[in-house]
A = this chain, B = another copy of it.
């Protein structure tokens, strides 16, 4: 009895638009108009309604909103939450969204195409207003298909030809070039890139772009014939194995460009462990300028692509798309080198 009495009011006390309307002595439509500040409401009406809203603490139901109009939510899909680059992107997104009435909801796909698909579908089914996909793994045609249902901006996804959705990237080719140029400028000639295995990075991924840039810069430097690219698996036991093998190679190069700080930092760690001195025996450049790279202990030179800025730009692009733009935009930021100890000095000149 008393239990029921306690349950009932809980259930019923949701303040809906109707409650507000009754309390303010106006129609539901009027309240809705005020909420969306649509045309045709007098100051008097607006005051009555906002008062009622304040008194009652009314919040519109996102679910109901989504069913009919906008939900004022944008979905963000992350391929992986462990990569320290991603949080930066989120920070950028949240920064731009904060002053607006939009909110971000994040899904994590863990690099599984299956999960990625179902998360995107869910976000569509929630009637979110737009999607920011960070380094998605799905092929461009599939994204294009989704893009007819919902505005999409892809970050870290090189599909400059896409007409159905926007892309925002740092120029990964250029980033790799900058890395190689820095090494060349310091006298290194014997340079190798450590990249991701074929299976883990598709054609439009940032990794492949960095490989292209690496090759081009090597070519320009007159080292076109020998621009070796090693592939490091992503999963844990094999990954360290491959790095150890690299470090103990007789013909190990004098300098290495890693596709990501994630790999570069582990490489640095293993190097210490194996007695390979950095930068004396081996110069290392990473990618992403993660916070770990900046640590005094690590001191890893790295290509900075400002994830935060990418997040900001992507968000602004998405909002403009939500607001009606239909021509695709493909934005490219220029990355820069952050030089640190792992690349120090010009001591590489002693090599042949």
Contacts and interface: CB of A to CB of B under 8 A. Distances in A.
Interface of A: 10, 59-64, 66-67, 71, 73, 81-82, 84, 86-87, 90-91, 94, 98, 103-108, 110, 115, 118-119, 121-122, 125-127, 148-149, 265-266, 268-270, 272-273, 291-292, 295-298
B122 A103 contact: yes
Contact of A269 (B64, B106, B297): B297
A121 B273 CA distance: 50
Q: Which 3 pairs between the two chains have the least Cβ-Cβ distance?
A: A63-B66, A269-B296, A106-B106
Given A63-B127, A272-B297, A94 B73 contact: no
A272 B82 CA distance: 26
A229 B192 CA distance: 48
Given A265-B295, A295-B266, A297-B268, A103 B119 contact: yes
30 contacts: A10-B148, A60-B125, A61-B67, A61-B125, A61-B127, A63-B63, A63-B71, A63-B127, A66-B66, A66-B126, A67-B67, A81-B86, A81-B87, A81-B90, A82-B84, A82-B87, A82-B291, A94-B108, A94-B110, A103-B122, A105-B107, A106-B106, A106-B108, A265-B295, A265-B297, A266-B295, A268-B297, A269-B296, A297-B297, A298-B298
A118 B106 CA distance: 15
Contact of A107 (B61, B103, B270): B103
Contacts of A59: 121, 125
Highest count of chain B CB atoms <10 Å: which of A103, A107, A273, A297: A297
A94 B292 CA distance: 26
A84 B295 CA distance: 15
Contacts of A61: 67, 125, 127
Given A63-B71, A126-B63, A270-B296, A108 B90 contact: yes
A94 B272 CA distance: 35
Nearest to A87: B81
Highest count of chain B CB atoms <10 Å: which of A59, A67, A266: A67
A262 to B, nearest CB: 10
B106 A107 contact: yes
Contacts of A105: 105-107
Contacts of A10: 148-149
A126 B126 CA distance: 9
A60 B64 CA distance: 15
A297 B273 CA distance: 8
